[in-house]
Structure 1
Amino acid sequence: MNGKLKIRLEVVIFTAILLSALLVWLFYPLWILRSANYAQYITPLGFEIYFFGSDFLLISPLMITSLIFFAFSAIIPIVWRSSRYSLYSSSFSLLLGFVMIINALIFEQRYLNFHGYSVILTPTGSFYIYFPYSTYFSVPFYLILASAAISTLNSLTRARWIPYNRPTLLDKLNRDIMSKGIIGAFSEWFERIGIPYAAESNKLMVKDLTLSTEDRGRELSVFFPNGEIIVFGKRGVLYIAKDGEIKYMNLDDGIKLTIAKALERAEINREIVEEKIYL
């Protein structure tokens, strides 16, 4: 059995926001401590420190680990779509990455600050300096927060929280009939479903079921039909049963009747296609 796996729009939104956060983080720090001639930045590799034109990079496994967790969180629901547990795993991985960021901030407060003094790293050691500074989070942090909220929502709702309507089979058939005509639309749908049919001029036949378009030059046998006949006209659909009974209906009911009658005569030997979308 083949699995036709679709990606939900909710998952696409989450992945796009999280990947955008990681991309922005590569060029712009996640957290900033800034003063006149001194600054600390949290980058994907760790802590970057600037002091009077000199810069030092303190590589942190916490940041590298968080980057890996965030990447896994974005990839998991794309690669593993056959179970809702992929959404849970994605949220858990995102949570671990966020915990790494919190640990990095704790590390900064514990080892790069001391009673208001900031630590200045040098090639031969470090020293402390005291001056006014301001700290704030930047765009990547808020994008990660937004992706965390969406990931949690996806986990709670199985990625079904956007109320958008998908076209029904009837809507699709109506659209195809408008663009391809009765014969062209139904022949295409019969092929998709796997219903064998024979085509003639302005007519389709599925065993003893005849589907045709309105033709004033064609004579229809009402009293002794060779099977069931469905005639599509401009304003409605005419149905002639085997016993000669005649019914007139609108286009939507005619489409439903045609599909039902064709499925009764179908010999489907094709492989069943199953759609798995975060079950």
Structure 2
Amino acid sequence: MRLEVLLQLLLAVVFVVTWFFMPAYGIYGRDYSIALMPWGYLVDFFGLNYVAPPPTVFAVWLFALDAGLIPVIWRRTRYPLYLSAFFAVLSLMMLLDTILFQQRYLQVKGYAVFPTPNGYLYVYLLHTSVLGLPTYILLALAILSVFNMATGAKWLDVDVMLIIRRRYVLHRDALSTVELMLRRINIKYVRYDNEIRVGNVALIKDGDNLIIRKDSSTEAVGIENAILELIKAGFSQVITEGTIDYEGE
């Protein structure tokens, strides 16, 4: 696996997590606002809150996650890079389409339109439109995905697996090598004597063998696949919990 692909996955996860905490787009005025969140437009009108969920909003973060995960899961050919770039650009287009939905249906000739349970309110008040940080992160993801597609994800010329092998030869301890790599990318883990656990995935050292235990299944793996499985488990925690507890430097 290449570092360029890991950067792409990291941007996709950061985009989704960031969007759950701050809007990708918003209109703000005195005593009212419309904020675009992953579940739709959050309307706050003089203390009354409503949600208007355009269907395209759910496609935005689903396509963004696909753009990050596809080149990590499927790595045999260059086709996943093409597919990943397609999903990243499609995600950006869905976001722009969702914003245009607001411009077309929730803003008319200077009036801001506020959905309510019984209809709509037309309000003519001063307001400002702002693009949030998640939008710029998604734009960076789309640019990086296209760049990875054009260069074959080799513009940094860094092979993560080669780094892992070199550190393994240096340390002569598989678990210490895995632990070092997890610390470098800030994955939350728990270390026991002969085990490293990330979420529900455990890496166990049995003699000279490495065993991945996930749910009720066990599998003997090499050090590269072991690190990959733990990284996947770490990113799953990011998506489900929405945050990472960083280990100290």
TM-score grouping bracket, smaller chain normalisation: 0.5 to 0.7
Task: Pick closer, same or farther for the CA change 1:165–1:66 going to 2, 3 Å.
Answer: closer
**How many residue pairs align between the two structures?**
168
- Alpha-carbon distance, 1:127 to partner: 1.8
- Alpha-carbon distance, 1:17 to partner: 1.2
- The amino acid that maps onto 1:47 is Y
- Alpha-carbon distance, 1:80 to partner: 0.3
Per the alignment, residue 154 of structure 2 pairs with: 160
Instruction: Give the structure-1-normalised TM-score.
Output: 0.56
Structure 2 unaligned residues grouped into runs of 5+: 173-249
Q: Does the 8 Å contact 2:15/2:137 carry over to 1?
A: yes
Instruction: Provide the rounded CA distance (Å) in 2 between the counterparts of 1:157 and 1:99.
Output: 23
Instruction: Provide the rounded CA distance (Å) in 1 between the counterparts of 2:115 and 2:158.
Output: 54
Per the alignment, residue 146 of structure 1 pairs with: 140
Per the alignment, residue 107 of structure 1 pairs with: 101
Name whichever structure is richer in helix by fraction: 2
- The amino acid that maps onto 2:65 is A
- Alpha-carbon distance, 1:117 to partner: 0.2
Instruction: Provide the rounded CA distance (Å) in 2 between the counterparts of 1:108 and 1:92.
Output: 25
Out of 105, 112, 117, the residue aligned to residue 118 of structure 1 is: 112
- Alpha-carbon distance, 1:64 to partner: 0.5
Q: Does the 8 Å contact 2:12/2:141 carry over to 1?
A: yes
Instruction: State how 1:1-279 maps to structure 2 within 5 Å.
Output: 7-164=1-158
- Alpha-carbon distance, 1:163 to partner: 4.3
Q: Does the 8 Å contact 2:27/2:127 carry over to 1?
A: yes
Question: Following superposition, which runs of at least 4 residues in structure 1 exceed 3 angstroms of deviation?
Answer: 163-166
- The amino acid that maps onto 1:76 is I
Instruction: Give the structure-2-normalised TM-score.
Output: 0.63
User: Over residues 2-26 of structure 1, what are the superposed CA-to-partner deviations in whole Å (9 max), with x where a residue is unaligned?
Assistant: xxxxx10000011101110111101
Q: Does the 8 Å contact 2:2/2:159 carry over to 1?
A: no
User: Over residues 103-139 of structure 1, what are the superposed CA-to-partner deviations in whole Å (9 max), with x where a residue is unaligned?
Assistant: 1111111110110001122221112011111111111
What's the secondary structure of 1:126's corresponding residue? strand
Greater C-alpha Rg: 1
Per the alignment, residue 223 of structure 1 pairs with: none
- Alpha-carbon distance, 1:151 to partner: 0.8
Task: Pick closer, same or farther for the CA change 1:158–1:59 going to 2, 3 Å.
Answer: same
Report percent identity of matched pairs: 30
